[in-house]
């Protein structure tokens, strides 16, 4: 954890009426301690009314704080930025400092990791680095982590909890069943601690403060969260969640994938877990001594609860675990997790487990910075938007326009979009798509995030964003261009046929552009639960092939310069093996996102080794 204690300066921004009430923002952080939900909401309602001016102020704070850092000096060293007002500084900054990507910061971050203590990206030394999940980009990235990072995490959680509490109030002092996992941490050559951003947060003071602030306490002790073995942690999360079942107010994880994997495990483990509840003992599966000790200190024999749980589980087994959550956690008010973007495919299964219990989509952020909060918790995941919190970072937006497919399909462009000049938050337009660019308190300046968002509207003066997809194209053979979202839509259509047949369900999927043979073609891998006849799977394959709407793909399929889509069915458990493989290579379950397209050899080897059947599409045959 960061050693440095930042001092709170006098508020430069307060609640908007000139009288800070303790929820004021200082250096992009809020003093949320001791604030009531109403005060937190009042603070955000006011801040969001003047998003544009707040942003200028935030940029000014970032630059003035870090004016001596090598990167800032390189671009702004000849200007007396300390004396400039925030508008002049914003104009100077956006005209002089280039738009960059993570690769531009890598040499600086590497020097920091190697122990260079000069101010390179920030004035204050960086003592901790976060590892981005790397499951979307294929490669993990180091991102500076400071106390500010943990504080903004506390702030967004407090803010989101305040909005949730208005719609779904919870009992004070209740428990949260949290499927959260720390990754292992390690030290760099220069002695900096490296781990995922969530790992640093779970170990921080702010994680404890959040529980006190929101008056809800996680069921599992730190030894379970940070055990380092996700299977053992999942078992204990489930056991403790059931031990406290009557007290659980809501169920949560960072990304919803973790909840689904936990309940899939529960379907296998429930007998053993009930035995532990009965006898107050702990399965021999739990080998980590600290985890064993911590859990055994909490649980005690409860035969009445165990029999009740066993009866419920026997009934649930007969109905394919439909409604598992409200049956086992009768006082849970909702499920709260990131369910948008690449998590959307898991929502069907979650609805099955939740049987009508509200699903509240959690907030939008990245290892680099938190971005937006869900202020409409009652919206279903398909409709949720994220209101930018203008105090977290300085946000810019690169307008993105789709190519005119009819005219441009002949050009081989490695991107699906044409870009316009970046604009500040105050100038974005509803209905327009943008790539987000971040300038952060942790030393990134005009750095592309790689996410495509759409402005869905405004909350006061601040944009509400729809998450669209990662910007990088994932499937392309020649002139075709398909993003993660395009693939997701196609898979959704194909799997509708499975759903209608009511015999099998899609567990997970990924894809691969097979270009080593001419003509190249797409391969989509499906793991399914249940039995589906070959002719049904062939129909799913053809449906998916015909559902790619990208003009380049359609033309290429018609001219046979892209071959028929291949659907490869893999055996049960394949995606668990993929998860294990990523975890073995340093990923953390809390931030894991199944890569929707892969050229990763390890992952392809698993997929190939687990292939059961292959089908080729008959679309475009005539």
Nearer to ligand AMP, 59 or 339 (CB): 339
Task: Please tell me the total number of residues recorded for the chain in this structure.
Answer: 622
Count of CA atoms in the C-beta half-sphere (13 A) of 210: 23
Structure tokens belonging to residue 591: 């931030």
Question: What CA–CA distances, in Å, run from 170 to 157, 217, 350?
Answer: 15, 12, 21
Nearer to ligand AMP, 14 or 591 (CB): 591
In sequence order, the β-bridge partners of residue 252 are 178, 336
Of 156-164, 256-264, 324-332, 334-342, the segment contacting ligand AMP by CB under 6 A is: 334-342
The C-alpha torsion from 488 through 489 and 492 to 493, rounded to 10°, is -150
Nearer to ligand AMP, 467 or 575 (CB): 467
Q: How far apart are CB 361 and ligand AMP at their closest, in Å?
A: 7
Euclidean distance between CA atoms 243 and 95, whole angstroms: 58
Distance, CA of 57 to chain centre: 28
Nearer to ligand AMP, 35 or 254 (CB): 254
Nearer to ligand AMP, 167 or 497 (CB): 167
Residue of 15, 128, 387, 591 interacting with ligand AMP (CB under 6 A): 591
Residue of 48, 60, 133, 369 interacting with ligand AMP (CB under 6 A): 133
Q: How far apart are CB 142 and ligand AMP at their closest, in Å?
A: 12
In sequence order, the β-bridge partners of residue 397 are 423, 436
Q: How far apart are CB 366 and ligand AMP at their closest, in Å?
A: 4
Q: Nearest CA to 341 among 452, 220, 208?
A: 452
Q: How far apart are CB 133 and ligand AMP at their closest, in Å?
A: 3
Q: Does 557 bind ligand AMP (CB under 6 A)?
A: no
Q: How far apart are CB 128 and ligand AMP at their closest, in Å?
A: 15
Q: Does 81 bind ligand AMP (CB under 6 A)?
A: no
Q: How far apart are CB 146 and ligand AMP at their closest, in Å?
A: 16
Of 121-129, 210-218, 233-241, 337-345, the segment contacting ligand AMP by CB under 6 A is: 337-345
Q: How far apart are CB 51 and ligand AMP at their closest, in Å?
A: 19
DSSP codes, 462-495: EEEEEEEEESS--B-SSS--B-HHHHHHHHHHHH
Nearer to ligand AMP, 203 or 546 (CB): 203
Q: Nearest CA to 234 among 525, 570, 592, 507?
A: 592
Pattern of binders to ligand AMP over 356-395, x per CB under 6 A? -------xxxxx----------------------------
DSSP codes, 551-571: HHHHHHHHTTSSPPPEEEEE-
Nearer to ligand AMP, 61 or 182 (CB): 182
Euclidean distance between CA atoms 322 and 386, whole angstroms: 30
Q: Does 338 bind ligand AMP (CB under 6 A)?
A: yes
Q: Does 337 bind ligand AMP (CB under 6 A)?
A: no
Q: Does 470 bind ligand AMP (CB under 6 A)?
A: yes
Between β-strands 359-361 and 364-365, what pairing exists: parallel, antiparallel or unpaired?
A: unpaired
Under a CB-based contact definition with an 8 Å cutoff, are residues 73 and 405 in contact?
Answer: no
Question: What CA–CA distances, in Å, run from 209 to 158, 221, 506?
Answer: 10, 15, 39
Nearer to ligand AMP, 126 or 477 (CB): 126
Under a CB-based contact definition with an 8 Å cutoff, are residues 453 and 434 in contact?
Answer: yes
Residue of 449, 487, 524, 539 interacting with ligand AMP (CB under 6 A): 449
Nearer to ligand AMP, 94 or 199 (CB): 199
3-class DSSP state of 315: helix
Q: How far apart are CB 68 and ligand AMP at their closest, in Å?
A: 28
Nearer to ligand AMP, 306 or 339 (CB): 339
Nearest-5° Cα angle at 446, 150 to 395: 60
Euclidean distance between CA atoms 89 and 63, whole angstroms: 9
Q: Nearest CA to 357 among 339, 376, 335?
A: 335
- Site size for ligand AMP, by CB under 6 A? 16
Residue of 467, 553, 582, 615 interacting with ligand AMP (CB under 6 A): 467
Q: How far apart are CB 474 and ligand AMP at their closest, in Å?
A: 13
Q: Does 28 bind ligand AMP (CB under 6 A)?
A: no
In sequence order, the β-bridge partners of residue 554 are none
Q: Does 323 bind ligand AMP (CB under 6 A)?
A: no
Under a CB-based contact definition with an 8 Å cutoff, are residues 470 and 340 in contact?
Answer: no
Euclidean distance between CA atoms 558 and 553, whole angstroms: 9
Residue of 340, 385, 476, 510 interacting with ligand AMP (CB under 6 A): 340
Residue of 90, 451, 480, 508 interacting with ligand AMP (CB under 6 A): 451
Structure tokens belonging to residue 253: 């994880």
Residue of 144, 241, 323, 341 interacting with ligand AMP (CB under 6 A): 341
Nearer to ligand AMP, 41 or 465 (CB): 465
| Residue closest to ligand AMP (Cβ) | 341
Q: How far apart are CB 206 and ligand AMP at their closest, in Å?
A: 18
Which parts of this chain interact with ligand AMP (CB under 6 A)? 132-133, 136, 338, 340-341, 363-367, 449, 451, 467, 470, 591
């Amino acid at each position: 954890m960061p050693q440095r204690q930042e001092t709170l300066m006098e508020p430069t921004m307060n609640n908007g009426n000139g009288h800070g009430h303790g929820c004021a923002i200082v250096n992009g952080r809020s003093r949320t301690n001791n604030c009531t939900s109403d005060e937190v909401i009042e603070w955000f309602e006011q801040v969001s009314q003047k998003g544009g001016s707040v942003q200028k102020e935030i940029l000014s704070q970032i630059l003035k704080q870090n004016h001596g850092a090598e990167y800032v000096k390189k671009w702004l060293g000849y200007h007396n930025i300390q004396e400039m007002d925030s508008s002049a500084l914003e104009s100077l900054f956006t005209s002089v400092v280039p738009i960059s990507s993570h690769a531009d910061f890598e040499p600086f971050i590497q020097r920091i990791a190697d122990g260079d203590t000069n101010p390179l990206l920030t004035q204050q030394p960086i003592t901790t680095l976060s590892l981005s999940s790397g499951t979307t980009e294929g490669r993990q990235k180091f991102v500076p982590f400071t106390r500010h990072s943990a504080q903004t995490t506390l702030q967004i959680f407090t803010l989101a909890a305040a909005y949730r509490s208005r719609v779904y109030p919870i009992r004070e002092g209740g428990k949260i069943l949290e499927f959260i996992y720390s990754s292992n941490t390690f030290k760099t050559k220069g002695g900096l601690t490296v781990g995922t951003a969530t790992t640093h947060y779970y170990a921080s003071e702010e994680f404890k403060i959040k529980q006190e602030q929101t008056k809800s306490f996680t069921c599992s002790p730190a030894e379970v969260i940070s055990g380092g073995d996700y299977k053992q942690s999942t078992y204990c999360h489930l056991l403790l969640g059931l031990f406290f079942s009557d007290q659980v107010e809501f169920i949560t994880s960072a990304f919803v994938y973790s909840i689904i994997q936990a309940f899939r495990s529960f379907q296998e483990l429930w007998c053993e877990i009930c035995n532990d509840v009965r006898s107050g003992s702990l399965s021999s599966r739990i080998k980590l001594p600290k985890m064993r000790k911590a859990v055994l200190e909490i649980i005690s024999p409860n035969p009445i609860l165990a029999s009740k749980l066993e009866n419920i589980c026997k009934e649930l087994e007969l109905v394919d675990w439909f409604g598992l959550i409200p049956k086992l956690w009768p006082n849970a008010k909702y499920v709260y997790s990131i369910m948008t973007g690449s998590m959307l495919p898991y929502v069907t299964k979650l609805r099955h487990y939740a049987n009508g219990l509200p699903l509240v989509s959690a907030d939008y952020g990245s290892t680099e910075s938190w971005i937006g909060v869900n202020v409409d918790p009652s919206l279903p995941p398909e409709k949720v938007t994220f209101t930018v919190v203008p105090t977290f970072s300085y946000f810019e937006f690169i307008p993105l326009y789709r190519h005119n497919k009819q005219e441009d399909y002949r050009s081989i462009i490695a991107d699906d979009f044409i870009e316009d000049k970046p604009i500040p938050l105050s100038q974005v337009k509803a209905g327009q798509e943008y790539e987000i660019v971040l300038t952060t308190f942790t030393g990134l300046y005009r750095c592309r995030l790689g996410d495509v968002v759409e402005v869905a509207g405004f909350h006061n003066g601040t944009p509400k964003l729809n998450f669209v997809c990662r910007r990088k194209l994932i499937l392309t053979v020649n002139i075709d261009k398909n993003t993660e979202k395009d693939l997701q839509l196609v898979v959704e259509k194909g799997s509708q046929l499975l759903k209608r047949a009511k015999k099998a369900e899609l567990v997970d999927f990924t894809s691969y552009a097979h270009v080593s043979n001419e003509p190249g073609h797409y391969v989509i891998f499906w793991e399914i639960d249940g039995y589906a006849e070959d002719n049904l799977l062939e129909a799913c394959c053809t449906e998916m092939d015909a559902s790619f709407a990208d003009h380049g793909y359609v033309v290429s399929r018609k001219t046979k310069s892209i071959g028929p889509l291949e659907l490869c069915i893999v055996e049960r458990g394949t995606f668990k093996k993929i998860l294990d493989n990523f975890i073995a290579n340093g990923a953390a379950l809390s931030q894991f996102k199944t890569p929707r397209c892969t050229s990763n050899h390890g992952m392809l080897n698993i997929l190939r080794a687990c292939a059961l059947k292959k089908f080729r599409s008959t679309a475009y045959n005539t």
